[in-house]
Structure 1
Amino acid sequence: MMFARLSIAVSALTIAAVTSASAETVTLTAYSGIFQEHYTKAVIEPFMKKYPDITVQFYGMPNSAQMLGTLRAQKSSPQIDVAILDVSVAKAGTDEGLFDKVDESVSANVKDLYPNAHAEGVAGVGVTFDNLVIIYNTDQVKTAPTSWNSLWDKQYEGKVIIQAAPDIQGTTFTIISNKLAGGGDYKTDVSAGIAKIGELAPGVQTWDPKPDVYAPIANGQAALGIGWNARAQIYSGTSGGKLGVALPQEGSGFQINTINLVKNAPESDAAKKFIDYALSPEAQAAFTGEMFYAPTNSKTVIAPDALKRTAADDMDKMIDIDWLAVAKVRDGITEQWRRRIIPLSR
């Protein structure tokens, strides 16, 4: 009897050891804060339910630059398997040999991605699209703005807030303003856009809103501003509708977050499964419904209530922004802001 019990105990320990040995942990680095909260709920938790032998550990960081710095520091001995970061930063990481190519050998879903989810010279692929919108205080702005030109409306002088370049919001706003002003190719000349923003400058309350662009709009400190759609939609809900969100009729520009496979990742096979899942219509629809990023997979079916809160139905209105080309002229754009826009503020 004692021998039988001992055999059962040994067998149980053996099974536990085998199970522990087969379990894998994928370390994902991506944006901390509300992105982490909603991505965990919509994508990571369902993935772990589907693959119970794989645990995903979220290593949140505030921005893509910090993620890149961490990946550089770990290059000789990576601790991170998957990174979600801005496309221009992903290009720098690719150039430095930090990532392996994400293609159809990693995920069959790659073939179904929208063309602008693929950036030349970037190992990863687009996993989310976000777009610039007008945000407004619904007590002060009774009718939702329909045009970017609303920001120049004299009745809102001193009540407009905008995040200046080099922040990507300011850079994107420059490209949009250049189009509004009838300017040429933004990759070579944004002088028309700079001049147009210069006309707005005297009425801008601040070029560096704190703690972000959303809170001052929601609490009524400012009436109008610009922000990213996904976060704006979330804050619209948490503000009790005090923060309104509008996609102007002239369209907008996408910011692209890419998903990247770290070269020599410690859990490469499990990481590929996670990337495949993250790019699937299932996961893309879930995250769109959770945080209102537009999906990058063209086969994603979005619930109607979520669809109207994204730019997924307005792809034809999006300015085709080549962020890799913009990266080469970003310093020049920033310098023009410093010389020709900021000094015009009151």
Structure 2
Amino acid sequence: MKLQAVLASATALTLGLGLGSAQAQEKTLTISVYAFAQDEYKKMLYDPFEAQCGCKLVVETGNSVERLAKMEANKANPVIDMAVISMADALQASRAGLIDAIDTAKLTNFDKLYDIAKDPNGDGMSVGYTFYATSIVYRTDKMQIDSWADLLKPEYVPHVAFPNITTNQGPPALFMLGEALGQNTPDLKAAIEAVAEKKDDIVTFYVKSSQLVQLMQQEEIWAAPIGRFSWAPFTKLDLPLGWATPKEGQTGGMNVMVLTKGTKNADLALQFMDYWLSTEVQTKLAEALVDSPANSEVVVPDEVADNITYGEETASSLKLIPSAVALDNRDGWLAEWNAKVGQ
């Protein structure tokens, strides 16, 4: 009996050591992402990648401010391996020494990207994975939008919702309004002044695009600048709505991937980035209306293309606010807005 007990203990010890060794060898990648569409990402991106790499993904979500603050707080000992953030936030992270250059030679899908996504900030520190156009949704039976300045016409402005300066759509809309006014300076002063002159006529300065669907349905507004990612709910309204193509063009935004400085899982992070940029994954996410594809090989049906930012022509025509301009001026934008518009 004693011999059996010793053998049993030895067997248990061997099994325990084997299990511990297997656990030690399991690769874990911690990513920091927006909270948006996590169910879709899990199905189309996270789970398939885990199955392919034999690793575990730990997903942390939150807004950009929270996630950047966490990266800063753990700068000496990183707790995430890679993140997806806006272009401007990527430049901020780069300036703060929070991210490393991306070795694009290790991204097999890099050459498939639209040029606009290959090095968005021109510093080699980020790669774009999705972008969106910003233009104007409007009632085609009530108005004609040929220019961003048309929003402020006396006959239209009492039916317009304009994005608050604190939203993602606020600065781009002001940027294009300044373009239309012929006074597009980095401080956006001319555009803010023009909006301030009409502030009592504008229906609302919206904070969430979800507000706009109800306002449009109730016919309280006829037009509003929005990101293309917000367009789909408007198509479900029984109203004659159009997506404007103003003569000054469309603006927009881009989300990018960054590699945390000091991560011990750089190769795995690059493997995940490459998988996300693949034609297969980008097509699935586009068809689900989750992300507009940065991969130029993605082909989608017309009904999908009409609801996302899609195609070479669109990608090359977007007038994006340079990240340095956004970072160096946003405090001034807010101060000017609060002084003139008061919201």
Q: TM-score, normalised to structure 1's length? A: 0.80
Aligned residue in 1 for 2:131: 129
Amino acid at match of 2:69: G
Is contact 1:38-1:291 (8 Å) kept? no
> CA offsets, 1:224-263, max 9 Å, x none?
3222221443x447x6667967243433112111111112
Q: What's the offset of the Cα at 1:73?
A: 0.8
Aligned residue in 2 for 1:336: 336
Q: What's the offset of the Cα at 1:175?
A: 0.9
Distance 1:68 1:232, change over 3 A: same
1:214 is the counterpart of 2:210: yes
State the distance in 2 between where 1:245 and 1:287 align.
Answer: 24
SS in 1 for 2:270: helix
State the distance in 1 between where 2:11 and 2:142 align.
Answer: 72
Aligned residue in 2 for 1:25: 28
State the distance in 1 between where 2:239 and 2:31 align.
Answer: 34
Structure (1 or 2) with the larger CA radius of gyration: 2
Is contact 1:163-1:208 (8 Å) kept? yes
Is contact 1:90-1:122 (8 Å) kept? no
Aligned residue in 2 for 1:230: 229
Is contact 1:80-1:266 (8 Å) kept? no
Q: What's the offset of the Cα at 1:150?
A: 5.3
Picking from 230, 233, 248, the partner of 2:245 is: 248
Q: Which residues in structure 2 correspond to 1:193-342 (within 5 Å)? A: 193-209=191-207, 212-218=208-214, 220=217, 222-223=220-221, 224-233=223-232, 235-236=233-234, 246-250=243-247, 251-313=249-311, 314-340=314-340, 342=341
> CA offsets, 1:189-217, max 9 Å, x none?
644433443454232122244xx132343
Is contact 1:104-1:111 (8 Å) kept? no
Is contact 2:135-2:227 (8 Å) kept? yes
Amino acid at match of 1:75: K
Amino acid at match of 2:80: I
Is contact 2:140-2:242 (8 Å) kept? no
Is contact 1:44-1:56 (8 Å) kept? yes
Is contact 1:145-1:248 (8 Å) kept? no
Is contact 1:131-1:311 (8 Å) kept? yes
Q: What's the offset of the Cα at 1:173?
A: 0.7
Amino acid at match of 2:96: E
> CA offsets, 1:257-292, max 9 Å, x none?
111111222433322211111122222222222235
Amino acid at match of 1:306: V
Aligned residue in 1 for 2:84: 84
SS in 1 for 2:203: strand
State the distance in 2 between where 1:236 and 1:14 align.
Answer: 58
Q: What's the offset of the Cα at 1:17?
A: 4.3
Is contact 2:91-2:323 (8 Å) kept? no
Is contact 1:146-1:246 (8 Å) kept? no
Q: Which ranges in structure 1 are unaligned for 5 or more consecutive residues?
A: none
Q: TM-score, normalised to structure 2's length? A: 0.81
1:39 is the counterpart of 2:37: no
> CA offsets, 1:304-326, max 9 Å, x none?
33222223232343214312223
Amino acid at match of 1:69: A
RMSD: 3.4
State the distance in 2 between where 1:57 and 1:48 align.
Answer: 10
Q: What's the offset of the Cα at 1:14?
A: 6.3
Residues paired across the two proteins, number: 329
SS in 1 for 2:104: coil
Amino acid at match of 1:42: M
Distance 1:320 1:69, change over 3 A: closer
State the distance in 2 between where 1:46 and 1:290 align.
Answer: 16
* Identical-pair percentage: 21
SS in 2 for 1:309: coil
State the distance in 2 between where 1:246 and 1:329 align.
Answer: 29
Is contact 1:25-1:54 (8 Å) kept? yes
